[in-house]
Each structure stands twice: as structure tokens, then as C-alpha cells.
Amino acid sequence: MRKASGATPLVSLDAVALDTETTGLDTTSARLVQIGAVALAAGRVSDDATFETLVDPGVPIPAETTAIHNITDAMVAGAPAADAALRAFDDFAAGRVVIGYAVGFDLAVIAAEAERTGLAWARPRTLCVRLLAALVAPQLPDQSLDMLAEWLEVPIADRHSALGDARAAGAIFVRLVPRLAERGVRTLAEAERACLALTGQLERHQRAGWAAPVSRPERFAGPGALGALDPFAYRHRVSALMSAPPVVMRTDQTLEAAIALMVENGIGALFVSDDGVGGGPLDDYAILTERDVMRRIAGGGAAAFAVPVGAIASRPLHSVRTGAFAYRAVGRMDRLGIRHLAVRDEDGRLAGIVSARDLLRLRAGAAIGLDDAIEAAGDATAMAAAWSGLPAVAQALIGEEIDARLVAAIVSEELRALTRRAAQIAEAAMLAEGRGPPPCPYALIVLGSAGRGESLLAPDQDNAIVFAHGAPDGPEDAWFSALGEKIAPLLDAAGVPLCSGGVMAKNPPWRGSEAVWRERVAGWVAHSRPQDLLNVDIFFDMVPVHGAAHLATALFDHAFRLASANIGFAKLLGERLLGGPDPFTLLGGFATVAGRIDLKMHGLFPVVSLARTLAIRHDLRLRGTRERLEGLIAKKIGGEADLRALIEAHALVVRLMLAQQARDLLAGVAVSNRVEIAALTRHERAALKTALKRARLVPEIARTLMFA
């Protein structure tokens, strides 16, 4: 179970709903007589995961309170004392967020009991359903538990018992989550921040002697929230760790021959195929591991040595891409309970193998932070939970002084995986509805920053579909239109908003057959006007994430071939770099709004667009901004010092934006492209001024290098 961060969606929050019964309502003197709790997971109350205990208060229970909760002195005689009961509850809660109705009362009583008994008690992260209800339904005549239950049609059993009221509070929370989302409150930190704005209610709680029902999210948003994060898992890709080429043998060879081959090569697994040759599609192969060998010999004795390996090897293969980061391989092995993964290239062909032994260099005991949860997600709720881990990981990696461009590549890797998983879930839904499998091969591609490998923490959906054949509005197009209509809301619910510019495969301009796309690109290149180029440029950043990658690869090459041959097209793209607003005031300070400066506008866009425009003009079929600028240097196009300065400026802007977005997401602040100047060190402010001055030179560099 991943620890909740401020970015954790409420819909997928692992939490504990709590209620207590006490000897009275005065928090300075009230004693616990009962604690009840129930777990919440994946948007549901888990009735099979509950906690309930009576508590011996050590003082007589007043008759007037017994009349409410029906707990008598005789019932609590011999029950655990408060300190023991609270330790047991802490074990049950296991660091999860605690949710309750008027939870400030419970927290105040617990804190007083802890102080009274000398118990070392750390206040958990909490939410109050009474405050959450006030956010979405301030018109209710009151926010009593009974009123909320009636409004939301939540039945209450065992009212005024701790477990009964805890169950009710948990069920009310679950019913409130979609209503909160409609008001833009989707994450834990956003809920905390929204509750903190209810100052009138908070003041009433304080006057009643209750503890604060929520804490400021910044309290939990420090860089050390994940513990010691292992940089190795994020600095290295599978291609650098795998064994290649793969060892392959024929299916008709014997187990004895396989053992000899393993010993000869010092390996614990090999692949099996009909022809015994590597480099083919993954479906052609099975895997034979040393564990398979031992199990077969243990069960078959000496006769096992003569058995053909094709009868023993396992399929289908579990695999990981060559370009995946090491954390993905670790997470996949852990999820599947295996020790070897096939490694596939971008065309889905067998390229090598990576084993648990190859990953032993991971720092012992350090957190990985990200895992393979996206790949295992079965719905949007699980996708959202997996995606929400990124801000804390990004913050921790920046704290480890890992190059921010590498962190952006990791965010892109997760966004690509999320998009791929959305397509897989959407395909399954199409089948379940009786619409059948894809009518022809297709590729789902991501565009823009995700394609470049430079995604930040506030991406929207930029995707498209190319399919093998079919006319616009024909049966194939209709099928892929329906697929796109399913992909978009899945990604939106997972935390990647719909594209405001409409760049999504569900829309006809971003979907079509290979022939349609070729005609579309030719039209862009030959007939474009500046107003026609909105969103077209990001097409040249495309990367396939699902399906028949060769369709996207061929389209990418075709687009670059046409565009590089038409100087006018690149010039039109270059004109978009002209006339941007000045990032500085007349006195040389930063031009800010509410203390923040838009670094996408002033820093990111100019450098990214320059690199893309010149890559198109000079037919550099690269995607990343750094790779494109270094490609120009390699071809001796432009001054190396100027281009290196832009590479450095790009790296700084990416780092500052990622750090700010991570802080904002974890603190429940609306994420944007604006960076708070006051949060920067003096050195960072000076470096940023230099970077933005370099970005101001982009139009001049573009004019010079367009015809270099």
C-alpha cells in the first residue's frame, strides 16, 4: 500500500474512518470508552476490515452519556486502558489518512488521553466529512451526521456506537467524493486546503475545544516524504542493464542441452522458439528458467533430461521495453512474482533479458517510489492512484539533484504508460459491448511534451490514432472514433485533463488511416497559413505508445521528409517565435502576476519551438529538445556556444517548473506553468534571469539558422 500524498485522488484514497464514544463532550476531561474504525479502499467501505474495542476510562461513566451510547461501567470493566487501545488502533490505521465526522473532537480527546497516559502519539493526516459536506452542500439546514446520511441516502446501523458511526462517516465520505470532484476538489491536499478556507466553521470547532480537523497540506509535503529514494532505479534504463543478445534454443532440443547452454553462458534463463533465433516478435518465444529445470527434474528424475524444452518452457512472455527505466522492471517483477523479464525493442521484437540479479545494484532498503501499478490498473480509479505518486517522486528526485530533464523523461514514461493502459481498457470495453476487436492494425501516438520525453506535472491529453486502412466516417473510422471516446474520459478521470485545443484521437482531425494522415500532412506543409498551424507543430514530436508502432514510425518519417523539403513551412513555424512578451519589467525585475512568472511562455516555449522548427527545417529526425539542439551542433549548424547556452537554459527552466508543480500538487494549490519567484534562492533567480535573456535571443537565432 502506497502512502498517501497530497496528490492522491480522493477516489482512490486508502484511509480509515474513525469514531469514538466518550464519557462526555468536554474534551479537557472526557475519557474514551470505545473506539471504532473501518478501512476505506478504492472508493469503497471495506466492511471486512474493521477495528472495534471498548476502553476502560478509569472513571465512572455518567448516566447521561450511557443513555446515549449504551456503554456501562460493567461493560468496560477489564477492557484495555486508553494507551493500549490507542496503540492497537494505530496498528490498524497503519499510517493511513483518518476520516471522521467532526473528527476534531475525536482528535482532541485522543491527544488528551495520550498526554494523560504518557503515550507518544503522532497526529495522523485527517479529513472531516462535516467540513467536506459544507463545501458541497452549504444550503443544508444543518450538517449533523443524521442529516448528511439522509441527504446522501446512507443507512446508519448501530447509531451512537463507535463502529456504526465510523461506517456512516466512511460511507458519507465515499458519496461526497464525486460531488467534490464536480467542484474541482479531487485530491487529498485540495480537500485539506478547501476545508481550511471554511474559517467560520474552524473557529467554532476551536471555541468548542476541538483540535483542528485538518492540517495544512504543506506539513506533509517535504522532499523527504518518500524516505531514501533510490536514484539508480531512475538514472538507468533497461537497455543498459539487460543481457543481449538473448540466448535462444529450438523447441525440439532437450532439457539436457538447455542445462549445458545455461552453464556455458552462466545464465539462469533462456528463450525457446521453433527456429532458435533471436530478434523475432515476442509471441514466437517461450522462456525456460533454472527453476523450471529444477522442478522438472524433481518431478521426472533422469527421464526429464530427454524431454524437449518446448514442452517445459513458459509462455506468453512477460516483457519490458528497452527504453523503460529500471524502476519499471523492478515493479513488474514484484507485481508478477518473477525473476526474469524479456526485453523488447520499440518494434516489439525480442532484444534481450533482464533478471533480478541485474538489478541488485539498487540501493538496499531505499524506496523505489514508482512501480508497475499503471500496467496492473483495471479502471480509472486504479489509474489515478498510480498516477498520483509522481509529484512526490519528482520532488524527491530533484532533491537528489538528478537532472530535471531525466525527471521529465520519467514523467513522460508514466504518461505514455497511462495512455497505453487507457487504450487497453478501452479496447476491452469495446469487446464487452459487442463491437469486436480493432478492425485493422492501428497505433495510438502521443504528441507534444510526452512525445519529446519532456512532460511536466501538469500535462493534458495530446494524442492521435493512425490506422492501416479505412475512409473518413467509414466503419474503421467509426470504430476508432468510439475507442477515442473511451480513452479520453479514462485519462481525464485518472488525472490527465482533456486537451483544451482538442488534440485527442476522439476528434476527427487527430484520427485517420495512413493514407488520410499522409494527405493531411501534405496539406499542412503545402498550404498552411499561420492561423492553420495551431497544434500542428506538436505532431512532429510523436511517439507510438500502443499498437502497430510501424504505422507511426512510417508517418513520422513521411512528415519530416515532406516538411524539411518545404522551406515555407518551417518559416511559418518560425514566425510563431516572434513577438513574445517581455519577461522583465522596465526596472529589470521579473514580470510577475501574484508573485509568479509564466516560465512556459517565457522560457520553455521559445527554446522547445526553436529546436523543433530547426529540426524540421534540417531534417533532424529527433524528438527531445536537447537531442535536437545537439543534433544541430553535430551538423555544425549554428554557434555551439549559443546552442549550449539554450540547452542549459532549457534544463534550468524544466527544473524550476517541475519543483514548483510538485510543491503545488502536494500542497493542493492549482497547478500551472507559473513559478513563485520568492521561493527561489538568490542563485536561482540570477540563473533564471540569464536563462530568460538567452531565450529572448531565440527569434534572432531562428532567422540565422533557418537557411544555414
| CA atoms of 343 and 523, how far apart (whole Å) | 39
What count of other Cβ atoms lies within 10 Å of the Cβ of residue 435?
A: 15
Cell triple for 497 = 485533463
Element (DSSP H or E) covering residue 326: helix 326-336
Question: Which residue in 163, 157, 158, 160 sits closest to 144, CA to CA?
Answer: 160
Residue 365, pLDDT score? 45
539 within 8 A of 464, measured Cβ to Cβ: yes
Q: Provide the H-helix boundaries in 143-278.
A: 145-151, 162-182, 188-196, 199-207, 232-235, 238-241, 255-265
Say which residues have a Cβ less than 8 Å from residue 232's Cβ, sequence separation at least 6.
Answer: 326, 361, 362, 363
Can you give the pLDDT at residue 222? 65
Model confidence over 161-209: pLDDT tens digits?
999 999 999 999 999 999 999 999 999 999 999 999 999 999 999 999 9
CA distance 115 to 353: 56
Q: Within 10 A of 81 (CB to CB), how many other CB atoms are there? A: 15
Map grid coordinates 533497461 to a residue: 238
In degrees and rounded to multiples of 5, residue 342 shows phi and psi of -65, 150
Give the per-residue pLDDT at 363: 46
Yes or no: say if 280 and 349 are a contact pair by the CB < 8 Å rule: yes
User: In this structure, which amino acid lies at residue 609?
Assistant: S
Q: How far is the C-alpha of 697 from the C-alpha of 603, rounded, in Å?
A: 11
Q: Which three cell numbers stand for residue 352?
A: 534481450
Q: What is the pLDDT of residue 570?
A: 86
**Residue 567, pLDDT above cutoff 70:** yes
Asked if residue 459 has a cis previous peptide bond (ω within 30° of 0), the answer is no
φ, ψ dihedrals at 8, nearest 5°: -65, 125
d(CA 341, CA 239): 12
In angstroms, the Cα distances linking 478 to 425, 475, 555, 596 are 18, 5, 21, 45
Q: What is the pLDDT, as a whole number, of residue 532?
A: 66
CA distances from 207 to 127, 142, 203, 210, 381 (A): 19, 18, 6, 7, 39
Would you state the cell numbers that stand for residue 163, as one nine-digit string?
Answer: 463502529
> In 453-583, where does DSSP find H-type helix?
475-494, 514-527, 549-564, 567-575
The least confident of 213-227, 262-276, 297-311, 421-435 is: 213-227
- Residue 604: what pLDDT? 96
Rounded to whole angstroms, how far apart are CA atoms 118 and 122? 12
Residue type, 516: V
pLDDT digits (tens, 9 = 90+) for 291-324: 999 999 998 899 999 999 999 999 999 999 999 9
Cβ-in-10-Å burial (0-12, 13-18, 19+) of 30 comes to buried
Res 368: pLDDT: 61
| Rounded mean pLDDT, 261-286 | 96
Percent of the chain with pLDDT over 70: 97
Q: Which three cell numbers stand for residue 145?
A: 451526521
Kindly tell me if the per-residue pLDDT of 223 is higher than 80: no
Q: What CATH number does the domain located at 232-362 have?
A: 3.10.580.10
Residue 215 has pLDDT above 50, yes or no: yes
Residue 577 and residue 588: Cα distance in Å, rounded? Answer: 22
Per 3-state DSSP, the chain is made up of helix, strand and coil in percentages (nearest 5) of 50, 15, 35
What is the average per-residue pLDDT within 465-480? 98
Q: Which pLDDT does position 74 carry in this prediction?
A: 96
Q: Give the Å distances, CA to CA, from 138 to 175, 327, 646.
A: 16, 45, 52
Query: From the CA atom positions of the chain, what is the Rg in Å?
Result: 29
Q: In this model, does residue 231 exceed pLDDT 60?
A: yes
The whole-angstrom separation of Cα 650 and Cα 578 is: 18
d(CA 381, CA 622) in angstroms, rounded, equals: 35
Which of 176, 199, 245 is CA-nearest to residue 15? 176
Q: What is the pLDDT of residues 617-635, one digit of tens each?
A: 999 999 999 999 999 999 9
Domain locations along the chain: 10-217, 232-362, 419-562, 596-705
Show the cell assigned to 16: 480509515
Strand partners, 229: 367
pLDDT of 571 > 80? The answer is yes
Total Cβ atoms within 10 A of residue 307 = 16
- 10 Å Cβ neighbour count for 485? 14
Which helix (DSSP H) or strand (DSSP E) does residue 93 occupy? helix 82-93
Over the stretch 474-524, which tens digit does the pLDDT of each residue have?
999 999 999 999 999 999 999 999 999 999 999 999 999 999 999 999 999
Mean local confidence (pLDDT), 34-58: 95
How far is Cα 398 from Cα 561, in angstroms, rounded to an integer? 38
User: What share of the chain has pLDDT > 90, as a percent?
Assistant: 84
How much is the pLDDT for 364? 45
Contact between residue 418 and residue 374 where contact means Cβ atoms under 8 Å apart: yes
> To the nearest whole number, what is the mean pLDDT of the chain?
93
3.30.200.20, 3.30.420.10, 3.30.360.10, 3.40.50.300: CATH of 10-217: 3.30.420.10
Q: Which three cell numbers stand for residue 199?
A: 474559517
CB atoms within 10 A of CB 224: 10
User: Reduced to 3 states, what is the DSSP secondary structure of residue 73?
Assistant: helix
Q: For the segment 392-413, what is each residue's pLDDT rounded down to a tens digit? A: 999 989 988 899 999 999 999 9
Per residue in 651-661, pLDDT (tens digit) is 999 999 999 99
- Whether 42 has a pLDDT exceeding 90, the answer reads no
Contact 229, 369 (CB under 8 A): yes
The C-alpha atoms of residue 463 and residue 455 are separated, in whole angstroms, by 13
Task: Report the residue count for the chain.
Answer: 708
Nearest to 560 by CA among 523, 511, 615: 615
Contacts of 145-151 with C-beta under 8 Å, sequence gap 24+, read 145/101, 145/169, 145/172, 148/101, 148/172
How far apart CA 506 and CA 486 sit, in angstroms, is 8
pLDDT of residue 161: 95
Q: Which CATH number fits domain 419-562: 3.30.460.10, 1.10.10.60, 3.30.70.360, 3.30.450.90?
A: 3.30.460.10
Looking at per-residue pLDDT, the higher value among 656 and 570 belongs to 656
Describe the crossing of helices 567-575 and 605-617 by its angle, rounded to 10 degrees: 170
**Exposure on the CB side of residue 463, measured as CA atoms within 13 A:** 32
pLDDT tens for 93-139 read 999 999 999 999 999 999 999 999 999 999 999 999 999 999 999 99
Instruction: Give the pLDDT score at 226.
Output: 55
AA identity, residue 549: A
pLDDT at 142 over 90: no
How do residues 356-368 score in pLDDT, each as one tens digit? 988 876 544 445 6
Higher pLDDT residue, 223 or 672? 672
Nearest CA to 26 out of 175, 262, 290, 209 is that of 209
Residue 221: per-residue pLDDT: 73
